[in-house]
Amino acid sequence: MSDTGAVIAIHGGAGAIQREKLGPDGYEAALAGLREALLAGWARLSAGASALDGVEAAVMSLEDNPLFNAGRGACFNADGIHELDASIMDGKTLAAGAIAASRTIRNPVVAARAVMERTGHLLLSGDGADAFATAEGIAQEPQSYFHTERQQRNLAKARARHLGEDSGPVSDAERHGTVGAVARDRHGNLAAATSTGGMTYKRPGRVGDTPIIGAGTYARNGVCAVSCTGSGEVFIRVCASHEIAARIAYRGDGLDAAARAVLFEEIDALGGNGGLVAVDAAGMVSMPYSSAGMYRGAIDANGMMHVGIYEELVSEPV
């Protein structure tokens, strides 16, 4: 990809995304959702907005799409409740904001940015996060807004398994799912944002890597911006997104080499899997995944859009 101009990359989660279960209609719907999110972010970047604005817009689009496990399509915890996590980071200033275990915030990434810009804190959780959003006039929704039939089926399967009524394997759709975006703006600034509903049937109050800066999200100008998806507890243990940045900054690794080393060596060694999207200071993009597939896409500095779920990418001009 070119080393000039704006660049954006997104993911909508990684896992054992089986072609036969997804089907042609599901495949096309997912690609359409990825395109919509990319264009939402690209519209801001191409108009001269900041990388921060670009990743926020892209993640908001994914949060509003019920196909993805964030915002409207979030999974259920063991009590049948949606608890939402999100974070955002500005590579120019290293400012960051996050919320965890929110139950009412329509677009968690918006609240995360508000925490960053309107408080002296970095992470707000639970009732405190929801109260902050209310006070700041950030859109709220009842729990029913986040319900989808797909996530209700996943919850039913998980409950049956817990009760010994189903001995089938746990699907990656039940384990995890996340959305995220990274961007480089026309001035070379980097940013990253991530949002998730977490894991199906998770314990109430469980928090994964998504709102943890340096684990699921990280951005630093001159180095890289990273957004992760996968086995959250493992990504936290290896400080995955910061580890990629450290390999680049201190070892001189290239972006793709650093990303793949963390994913296929460090994460894999601890029994985890997943994927990530990353962009470096030159606008190069890496989108590796260690699962069967990952919803992902990018718009490069030449204005070409690339989206895919499996190995192949569909490319077209913006």
What is the pTM for the complete model shown? 0.95
CA 280 to chain centre: 17
Question: What CATH number does residue 125 fall under?
Answer: 3.60.20.30
- pLDDT score recorded for residue 15: 78
Domain of residue 253, residue span = 7-317
Residue 136 and residue 121: Cα distance in Å, rounded? Answer: 15
**Helix, strand and coil in the chain, % to nearest 5:** 40, 25, 35
- pLDDT score recorded for residue 4: 47
Does residue 2 fall inside a structural domain?
A: no
Does residue 1 fall inside a structural domain?
A: no
- Adjacency order of strands within the sheet including 190-196: 123-125, 96-102, 84-90, 190-196, 178-184, 7-15, 293-299, 304-308, 314-317
Task: Respond yes or no: is residue 178 known to be catalytic.
Answer: yes
- pLDDT score recorded for residue 204: 97
Residue 192 and residue 185: Cα distance in Å, rounded? Answer: 12
Does residue 150 fall inside a structural domain?
A: yes
Identify the bridge partners of residue 304 per DSSP, sorted by sequence position. Answer: 317
Residue 79 and residue 36: Cα distance in Å, rounded? Answer: 32
The total number of structural domains in the chain stands at 1
Enumerate the H helices of the chain as residue ranges.
19-46, 51-64, 108-118, 126-135, 143-146, 149-162, 172-175, 232-237, 240-246, 255-261, 268-269
Determine which one of 178, 194, 200, 229 is catalytic. Answer: 178
- pLDDT score recorded for residue 16: 64
Instruction: Give the residues of the chain that fall short of pLDDT 50.
Output: 1-4
